[in-house]
Structures are given as C-alpha cells and as structure tokens.
Amino acid sequence: MTFWTLAFKWNWVTAEKLKGAVKTEANPCGEITPEEYKTITGLDFV
C-alpha cells in the first residue's frame, strides 16, 4: 500500500486510475483492498 499512497500523493496516478489496483471479483490480482483505496484517496470505492 505504501507505493500506491505515494503514487497518489505525488499525482503519479489519479483516483480513477488507482481503481485498477483494487482487488475485486473481476480483478482478483489487485494489490489493494477497497478499504485501502478509501484510506489512500479519501473516496469510497464504487
């Protein structure tokens, strides 16, 4: 999660693009959970 936190903080990735790194049924190889997404971005994962 540290990498994605830094990537978002330094604008290397947008909140929209970060959704691609979230573990879901459609993306079981994701690197962060929906809860971590919210911690990083402050936005709910929808």
For 3-15, write each residue's pLDDT tens digit. 999 999 999 999 9
Within-domain flag for 21: yes
Angle at the Cα of 14 (from 9 to 16), degrees rounded to 5?
140
Within-domain flag for 46: no
Domain region containing 36:
2-41
pLDDT value at residue 12: 97
Residue ranges, the chain, pLDDT below 70 = none
pLDDT value at residue 18: 98
Within-domain flag for 13: yes
pLDDT value at residue 19: 97
SS (HEC) of the chain: CHHHHHHHHCCCCCHHHHHHHECCCCCCCCCECHHHHHHHHCCCCC
Query: What pTM value is reported for the model?
Result: 0.91
Within-domain flag for 28: yes
Residues in the chain: 46
Count of domains observed in the chain: 1
Across the strands, what pairs with 22? Answer: 32
Q: What integer best gives the mean pLDDT of the chain?
A: 97
pLDDT value at residue 1: 83
